[in-house]
Amino acid sequence: MKGIKDRGGRASDSLNQRFDAPLTRRIALWLPASLFLAVFFFYPLGHILTLSLDFSAITAGALGRSLSVLGFTLFQACLSTVLTLALGLPAAFLFARYRFAAKALLRTLTAIPFMLPTVVVAAGFNAWLGSRGWVNIALMRLFNLDSPPLVFGGTLGAILLAHVFYNTTIVVRVVGNALAHLDPRLEQAARTLGADPRRAFWRLTLPLLRPSLLASILLVFLFDFTSFGVILLLGGARFATLEVEIYLQAVQFFDLPLAAWLSLIQLLCTLAFSVVYSRAVTRTPGPSAPREATANLRRPQTLPQRLFVAGMAIFLFLFFIFPMLSLPVRSVARLEADRGERGQVRYGLTADYYAELFVNRSETLFYVPPLRALGNSLGYASLTVILSLGLGFPVAAALARPGPLERLLDPFLMLPLGASAVTLGLGFIVSFGRLLVSPWLVPLAHTLIALPFVIRSLQPALAAIPERLRQVAASLGAPPLRAWLVVDWPIIRRATLAAAVFAFTVSLGEFGATVLIARPEYPTLTTAIYRFLSRPGGLNYGQAMAMATILMLVTGAGILAIEKLRLPGSGEF
């Protein structure tokens, strides 16, 4: 017994030594990522803060413009949130309470837009409702019109519709998950005590859902408030929000002090909303008498229930499938109107738009073929994966066995997510202006955005490695590298691949920072799509559709890979 206790004591001492690793070792694990954040995040933000405090550059006109832009930013975010709730709450009730055919497919379909790049969503809505979209083509052919009757691009409605398309899944997941776990016996008890369905909802169900509802409202509002790509591509300068105005002042008007002033306003607002959201989430209680989600599911019985389920499911399917389906179909559709011919539009299938990606039709030395933009994006994404994993692994290993240092530094890892990508891009411009000729700044900016996700993907897997397996490998004479390959790698392999795919997908679709710092001779796929959508002509439009389709397919493959590789219970998103 004494030998057993001695061995147990030695094993416990070894385990405690690992948990209480020397401070120097923990500092060494944090040092690379800390230096990276200090140089490429805090230093640029400090420059923006310094530049924004130059009040001599803030004239009365600039101040008035800032207040106007802030007011519209808040207005469109509030209106987008209300419309998202109008669709998301019935959809959440549908998924939480009813069984119906193709439910899993429809639920997945509602989640995909949340991870799609903004340029893909904008291109999809252009292919569906734009001047060259299918709806306008059908109306022109039906009524023999010479011009598109539906005006979609450059309208507030386009912005609102795209925001609802993007963020409905947040309400479905957050509120729907809370609704699915409510104990149905509570509502049944209220009904037996004489409460009608409406009274039971207002007095019982709604108070129980209020924390989750508040969290989803704040999250949707935050995403709408910081929206950039959707507004720039679908609304334009006429509907400038803080993000778009920062881009316009920095790139088109070269007024960096005003852009920095707007960035400071944006950062303070985002910080305030993030604090409110964090408090709402931490104060959210668990469901009262929680039940399994399947306990609340039932087949629709009455005629109103059947009409609701069928109508809601069909509407959701059409609303989410049309923008994504219109894009690849439009990229292979030959329309004689695209070639400048007058008269009725005629149809046909073609691969010309994809073939044009390889052609320098302008025959200029300054032309960058779209295919090279794809190569640039793949190269940037590969570098982002290498940098993110290299910086993220040590931090994730430290967080797997957290101590006081980890609890102190962990919140700083999430700060890049609170700053908008446009602000990060502006920070790079004012801080590393002389280095903007280098293409290296793009993967560095992408790494800032991807690093928090990579660390959060790796941390649970590293924490799940049993220490006793390492001890067994060491007692059998395995050297450290051999022990890591035999013990650690099989456990963290799936999480590592998921983190790599996540970083790759984030880099491939990033637009906000890239459009500010990417050199014209080193465009990415997202900036190339934006440029082609901004140019007149059917050929440019068709090439934008082709590039957006390629980006959508690659991103979709990444989303599927993440779903297959992520650890069970790692969250909805």
Q: Residues 40-79: pLDDT tens digits?
A: 999 998 888 888 877 776 788 888 888 899 999 999 999 9
Token pair listed for 286: 């668990």
Closest CA to 409 of 19, 48, 17, 26: 26
* pLDDT tens track for 442-467: 999 999 999 988 998 888 888 888 87
Gap between the Cα atoms of 326 and 333, Å rounded:
10
Which pLDDT does position 105 carry in this prediction? 86
Q: Would you call 63 helix, strand, or coil by DSSP? A: helix
For the chain, what is the total number of helices (H) and then of strands (E)?
Answer: 27, 0
End-to-end alpha-carbon separation of the chain, Å? 50
Please, are residues 445 and 431 in contact by the beta-carbon 8 Å criterion?
Answer: no
CATH T-level fold of 61-350: MetI-like fold (1.10.3720)
- 84-94 pLDDT, tens digit per residue, is 999 999 999 99
Q: Are 246 and 81 in contact (CB under 8 A)?
A: no
* Angle at 79 (CA atoms; ends 86, 214), nearest 5 degrees: 60
What residue type is assigned to position 83 of the chain?
L
Residue 211 CB partners (closer than 8 Å, separation 6+): 178, 280, 283, 284, 285
Q: Is the dihedral of CA 151, 137, 547, 318 positive or negative?
A: positive
- Return the structure tokens found at 512: 């906000």
Question: Residue 418 corresponds to which tokens in the numbers above?
Answer: 């609170």
- 123 vs 369: which has the higher pLDDT: 123
Q: Which of 294-298, 434-438, 533-537 has the highest mean pLDDT?
A: 533-537
Distances (CA, A) of 98 to 84, 259, 295: 21, 49, 11
DSSP 181-194: TS-HHHHHHHHHTT
Q: CA-CA distances (angstroms) from residue 209 to 157, 201, 413, 560?
A: 30, 10, 31, 31
> What is the rounded average pLDDT for all residues in the chain?
82
Label residue 294 by pLDDT band (50, 70, 90).
Answer: low
230-246: string of b/e by CB count within 10 Å (b at 16+)? bbbbbbbeebbbbbbbb
Q: What is the pLDDT of residues 188-232, one digit of tens each?
A: 666 666 666 667 667 677 777 888 888 899 889 989 998 998 999
The confidence score (pLDDT) of residue 42 equals 92
Calculate mean pLDDT across residues 386-406.
89
d(CA 63, CA 192): 60
Higher pLDDT, 400 or 394: 394
Residues paired with 298 in a beta bridge = 98
At residue 291, the pLDDT reads: 55
Domain boundaries, the chain: 61-350
Q: Is 298 helix (H, G, I), strand (E, B) or coil?
A: strand
H helices of 248-339, where?
Answer: 256-282, 303-331
In the predicted model, is pLDDT for residue 5 greater than 50?
no
Query: HSE-up of 297 (CA within 13 Å, CB side)?
Result: 10
Q: What is the mean pLDDT of residues 354-367?
A: 68
Query: What is the model's pLDDT at position 10?
Result: 45
Per-residue b or e along 339-358, where b marks 16 or more CB atoms closer than 10 Å to that residue's CB: eeeeeebeeeeeebbbebbe
- Asked if residue 183 has pLDDT above 60, the reply is yes
> What is the rounded (10 degree) CA torsion for 439, 441, 442, 445?
170
What span, in angstroms and rounded, lies between the C-alpha atoms of 164 and 77? 11
pTM for this predicted structure: 0.82
Q: Tell me if 402 sits within 8 A of 41, measured CB to CB.
A: no
Residues in the chain: 573
Whether the pLDDT of residue 106 is over 80: the answer is: yes
Give me the percent of the chain exceeding a pLDDT of 90: 28
SS percent in the chain: helix, strand, coil, step 5: 75, 0, 20
In tens, the pLDDT along 136-169 reads 888 988 888 888 899 998 899 999 999 999 999 9
